[in-house]
Amino acid sequence: MIRGIQGVDQYVSGLAKALYTQGFDLPEVPTIELDEAGQLAFSIVGVIPDVDLAEVAEISLDEIWRPLPDRRWERREYTYDLVDRPRRRRRAFHLHDRDLAEAELGTVVHEHCEEIFGQPTCQHYLGRELPNGYLAIDHLVAAWVEPGPLGCAALTCLDQEPSRPASG
Partner 1 sequence: MKRFYTPQEVARLLGVSPTTVMSRIHEGALPAVRVSERIYRIPIPAFERFVSTAPRPAINVRHRRVQRVRKLGERIAGAADELITA
Figure out which of the listed residues 59, 64, 109, 152 binds partner 1, where binding follows CB under 8 A: 64
Q: How many residues bind partner 1 (CB under 8 A)?
A: 58
Q: If binding is defined by CB under 8 A, does position 35 make contact with partner 1?
A: yes
Q: Give me the phi and psi of 4, to 5 degrees please.
A: -80, 175
**Min dist. Cβ of residue 46 to partner 1 (A):** 10
Figure out which of the listed residues 75, 91, 94, 124 binds partner 1, where binding follows CB under 8 A: 94
Contacts of 99 (CB under 8 A, 6+ apart): none
**Min dist. Cβ of residue 163 to partner 1 (A):** 13
Residue pair 50/57 in contact (Cβ under 8 Å)? The answer is yes
Give the separation between CA 78 and CA 12, rounded to whole angstroms. 13
Figure out which of the listed residues 71, 102, 135, 167 binds partner 1, where binding follows CB under 8 A: 167
To the nearest 5 percent, what fractions of the chain are helix, strand and coil? 25, 35, 40
Contacts of 50 (CB under 8 A, 6+ apart): 56, 57, 85, 86
DSSP string computed for 64-110: EEEEETTTEEEEEEEEEEEEETTTTEEEEEEE--HHHHHHHHSSSEE
Residue span 103-142 as binding mask against partner 1, x where in contact by CB under 8 A, dash where not: --------------xx-------------------x--xx
**Min dist. Cβ of residue 29 to partner 1 (A):** 5
**Min dist. Cβ of residue 5 to partner 1 (A):** 9
Instruction: List residues binding partner 1 (CB under 8 A).
Output: 9, 12-13, 16-17, 20-24, 26, 29-37, 39-41, 43, 45, 48, 50-52, 58, 60, 62, 64, 77-79, 81, 83, 85-86, 88, 90, 92, 94, 96, 117-118, 138, 141-142, 144-147, 165-168
